[in-house]
A = this chain, B = another copy of it.
Amino acid sequence: MTTRSREDVVQAAGRLFAARGFHGTSMRDLGDELGLLGSSLYSHVESKEQLLIEVVQRGAALFQALADSVAASDRPPAEKVAALVRGHVDIITSNQEQSATFLNEARFLPADGRTAIVILRDRYEETFREVIAEGVARGAFRDQNPALASILVLSVLNALTRWYRRSGAQSPEEIADAMVAFVMDGLQ
C-alpha cells in the first residue's frame, strides 16, 4: 500500500464534494475513498473547511487564467467570445469535479473565503460583459444589455458541469462547436 499525498486528498475532496456535496461528505467518507481512516487525513490537511477552500481556489484560478489570457489578446470581440467559450468548455471537460465544486459548493465557504471567491467570480463575469459590450459598440453584436447577455452565455457554459460525461455522445470539441454556434447566434 502506497502512502498518500496532500494532493491525493485535495483531488479526492474535489471528487466527493462534487458528487455528494460538502455537507454530504464526511471526513470518514473521504478516508474511505483513499483507503484511509478519516482521522488519518489530518496528517495532510488542517481541516475539512481548508480542504474546501483549496478545491474552490484551484477551480477559480483555472477560469481566471483563461479570462486574463483572452482579455489581454488583441482580437475582435467575436473571436474573443469564441475563445472564452472554447476555453471554458476545455476547463470543465478536463476538470469536471473541481469545476463543479467551485460552482456549487463555494457558498459553503466561511464568510471571508466566500467573499474572496465572489470577487473572483464577478471579475470573470466582468470579462464576458466587457467583451460583449465592445462587440455591441462595434456593431458586431446586436444592441442588447451586456450584463444580461453575459449571464446568459455563462449559464450555457456553467451548466456543462452538470451534464458532461466523458463517455457521452458528444466530444468536448463537438460541444464547444455547438456552444460557439449557439452563443454567437444568440448575441448577433
On A, residues with C-beta under 8 Å from B are 21-24, 104, 108, 144-145, 147-149, 151-152, 154-156, 158-160, 163, 169-170, 175, 178-179, 181-183, 185-188
A159/B148 in contact, CB under 8 A? no
How many copies of this chain? 2
Q: Which of A147, A155, A159, A181 gathers the greatest number of chain B CB atoms within 10 Å?
A: A155
Query: How far in angstroms is the closest Cβ of chain B from A100?
Result: 12
Query: How far in angstroms is the closest Cβ of chain B from A96?
Result: 15
Kindly list chain B residues whose C-beta atoms are within 8 Å of the C-beta of A154: 159
In the assembly, what is the distance between CA of A9 and CA of B163, in Å? 32
B179/A151 in contact, CB under 8 A? no
CB nearest neighbor in B for A24: B23
A149/B182 in contact, CB under 8 A? yes
B24/A108 in contact, CB under 8 A? yes
In the assembly, what is the distance between CA of A182 and CA of B154, in Å? 13
Kindly list chain B residues whose C-beta atoms are within 8 Å of the C-beta of A151: 159, 163
CB nearest neighbor in B for A182: B186
Q: Which of A23, A147, A181, A182 gathers the greatest number of chain B CB atoms within 10 Å?
A: A182
Q: A149-B182, A154-B159, A182-B186 are in contact. List 13 more A-B contacts (CB 8 A).
A: A21-B21, A21-B23, A24-B108, A145-B170, A147-B169, A148-B178, A151-B159, A155-B155, A155-B158, A155-B159, A182-B187, A183-B186, A185-B185
